[in-house]
Structure 1
C-alpha cells in the first residue's frame, strides 16, 4: 500500500465497499494525489490528509458505486415507475368496470399478493447488501414482469370493449416489461455491487 498510515487505513476500510478492479484504480489515484502533495512540498501527514480530503469519504465513494450499480438502479426504476403504471391500470379498470368482468376471485387475490410481494422485495433490494441486492432485484423484476404480462393478458381476454386508459396502461406495462427483459442479463451477471 501507500506507506502512510492514514492512506493505508483508508484503503483497507474502502476495500469491502467497492469492486476489486475499482479499488485498484482508486488506490492508484489516491497514491498519485498523495505523491503530488509531497512533491508540492507538504509534510507527509499534511500530504496524506490533503489527499484523503480531495478524495472524499468512504461513504461518498461507496454511495456513488451503489447508486450506479445495476441492481440498485433497476430496483429504483421499477419502484418509482410502479405508481404511474398502477394509476394507468386503475383508470383502465374503473373505466372498463372491472367488477363486471368474469375474473376469478382467486386470480384477483393472487395478483394483489404478487404486487405486494414485488414491491416489498424491490424496496428491500434498495437497502440490501451487494449479493442480496442482486438476487432481490432479479426476483422483484421477474415479479413485475409477470404482473405486467398478467394485467395485459387479463385485460385483452376479459375486457368487454377497449377503453381509452388502455392506450396508456398497456404501453406502460409493455415498456416496463421490456426494461425488465433488458436489465435481467445485467443483473444475472451478478455485478459485485448489484
Structure 2
C-alpha cells in the first residue's frame, strides 16, 4: 500500500501519468478491501494478503486487463464493424456493391477469430472445457470463411 501512498503524494513517474478509470477503480477497490481487513483486526501485512487473495494474483489481474482491453477496445470496434458489414450485405437485394461488403466482413470475422484464439491461448494458463469447444469451432469458422471467400470473388 506504500505505492498507493507514494502515488497519491505525487512521487515517481507513475504518479504523473493519468490512470484509466478501470485502474483507478481497481486500486480503490483493493484499498477499500485492505482497509476492511484492517478494521477487522488483521495486521497490515495480513490485511494486504487477504485483499490480494480476494482480488486474485497480479498475473490474474493483468490477464483480465489484457482481455478487457482487447475486447473493449480494438476488437470491440472491429466486431461492431463486422456486424454492420454483414447486415449491410445480407439486406442487399439489388446493389452488387453492398453485397460485396460481405467479403470484407468475412475477412474481418477471420481477423477477429484469429485474435481471440491467440488471446485465449496466450492469456489462459490451462485448458478448460469451454476452450475445448470454442477454439476448434473458431478454427473451423476461420477455415470455412476463408474457403468461401474465393468463391464469392469468382461470382
RCO higher in structure (CA 8 A, sep ≥6): 1
Look up the match of 1:127. 91
Moved over 6 A (4+): none
Counterparts of 1:94-173 in structure 2, within 5 Å, are: 101=63, 103=66, 106-108=69-71, 109-128=73-92, 129-173=94-138
Answer yes or no: is the 8 Å Cα contact 2:110–2:142 preserved in 1: yes
Deviation at 1:112? 0.8
Counterparts of 1:4-19 in structure 2, within 5 Å, are: none
Q: Distance in 1 between matches of 2:68 and 2:116?
A: 15
Q: CA RMSD in A?
A: 2.0
Answer yes or no: is the 8 Å Cα contact 1:118–1:140 preserved in 2: yes
Secondary structure of the residue aligned to 1:160 is coil
Asked if 1:188 corresponds to 2:143, the answer is: no
With the length of structure 1 as denominator, give the TM-score of the two structures: 0.44
Look up the match of 2:139. 174
Q: Deviations over 1:48-107 (max 9, x none)?
A: xxxxxxxxxxxxxxxxxxxxxxxxxxxxxxxxxxxxxxxxxxxxxxxxxx8651517553
Which stretches in structure 1 are left out of the alignment for 5+ residues? 1-97
Deviation at 1:162? 1.2
Counterparts of 1:12-51 in structure 2, within 5 Å, are: none
With the length of structure 2 as denominator, give the TM-score of the two structures: 0.54
Deviation at 1:131? 1.7
Q: Distance in 2 between matches of 1:159 and 1:145?
A: 21
Q: Distance in 1 between matches of 2:150 and 2:95?
A: 17
Aligned residues: 93
> Which structure has the larger Rg?
1
